[in-house]
Amino acid sequence: MKPTDVQFVIGLSGYFVKDLEAVRRSPAYDPLRDDIPPCTPGFRSVVQAGQVISIILHLPCGGIAVGDSVDVIFSGAASREPWLLSCDLSHFRHNAERVDLPWTELHGRRLHSAIRYGLTQALLAATALAQRRTIAEVICHEWSLGSIADRPVDILASCHRNDALQLDRMIMKKAPMLPHASFVHASDIGPHGMVLMDYVDTVARRIRQRAPPGYHPRLHFDVYGTLGDVFPETTRLADFLGRLRQRARPYALLIESPIIAPSKPAQIQRLAALRACLKRKSIDVRIVADEWCNTLPDIRDFADADAVDYVQIKMPDLGGVDQSIDAVLYCQGKGIGCCLGGSANETDVSARITAQVALATRPDFLLSKPGIGADEGLMILTNEMLRGIALAKRAHCKL
């Protein structure tokens, strides 16, 4: 089966893009203002509205397969139309591998990672239609993974720090993990980290007060390297995390990006040193890698070094969906945890495909997306997984 037509539609993504380096360098940061000068190439301002290119494949059967490329200019996508119209949709993996290769038409360059992400979403959805299977079942078949998960994968509900009602809703809905609550500037965590300390205490106390029976979530906080800025010495940082652990009790505590080093080797070394220090001190805080852990080779490097407890697999950064599948499986083979994540700046389309990938590969948890409204991302991911499980069970009963 080959596509009969392809369309490209420019639309809105779920959030916005931010020049993190400019924010980190600024002496003060107000998230509602964008008058900080950008320092990362490609940014016109420190905060910009997100856009998406929807790639729509029309199939001979009348079906439509869609993939969303997040935050790239239109150049590069339309030039793939001749290849798209000639590719065989009966299998996905071969097509995904071709998308990842350099293109003669681009003078030996690869497509932008976001274009690869959107193209492979559309191709994967098209193969599922051609095979009359769910996307998760296609992945399980082509990667020889057996059956899909029989229950939804845990979701980290990404919440605003200053929205107490949002936190209460996530507790009411029994979000397996929360609140993410980004701390992007040293001022966010306060002098000696006391603002962060108080916030962790507030979240844990609120859960204890309002938790439904049997609800025991994990707590996750993304600090964007701010702890390393305030506590540059590893032992002091570990001691602070030990105090933070006490505030989080009785809930498990995960800290994402406690440090941002100037290079990948330095990042791996410093995170490994922090993790070793935490183990020596018997401090039960799990470390999640994000910065410098962007591509499949990066993820392999972090996993091989056993530097962290979890890596975040940021699906748009890896490019093709097949790369994220391989990343989850590599982490599992190395005994390291992983979050199948991405960006608040994604869409409902990419989020639903992420949910299907999760059913097939079973990562430790997902990051709620799109947006950081939490409710919407939790709904989209949860419902897509529940539908996928129900469809797989129905197909199995018919055999």
Q: Which of 2, 18, 173, 314 is catalytic?
A: 314
* Cα 260 from Cα 278, distance rounded (Å): 18
256 is in an annotated binding site: yes
285-289 and 253-256 as β-strands: parallel, antiparallel, unpaired?
A: parallel
- Element holding 189 (H helix, E strand): helix 186-189
Residue 287, strand partner residues:
255
* Cα 87 from Cα 95, distance rounded (Å): 7
6 residue type, one letter:
V
Structure tokens, 364: 């430790």
Contact 368, 374 (CB under 8 A): yes
Q: Which of 238, 179, 192, 149 is nearest to 377 (CA)?
A: 179
Structure tokens, 61: 């059967």
Residue 65, strand partner residues:
57
Contact 389, 359 (CB under 8 A): yes
127 Rama sector, left if φ>0, alpha if ψ -120 to 50, beta otherwise = alpha
Catalytic residue list contains 264:
no
Residues marked as catalytic: 314
Binding-site sequence positions for Mg(2+): 222, 256, 290
Binding-site sequence positions: 222, 256, 290
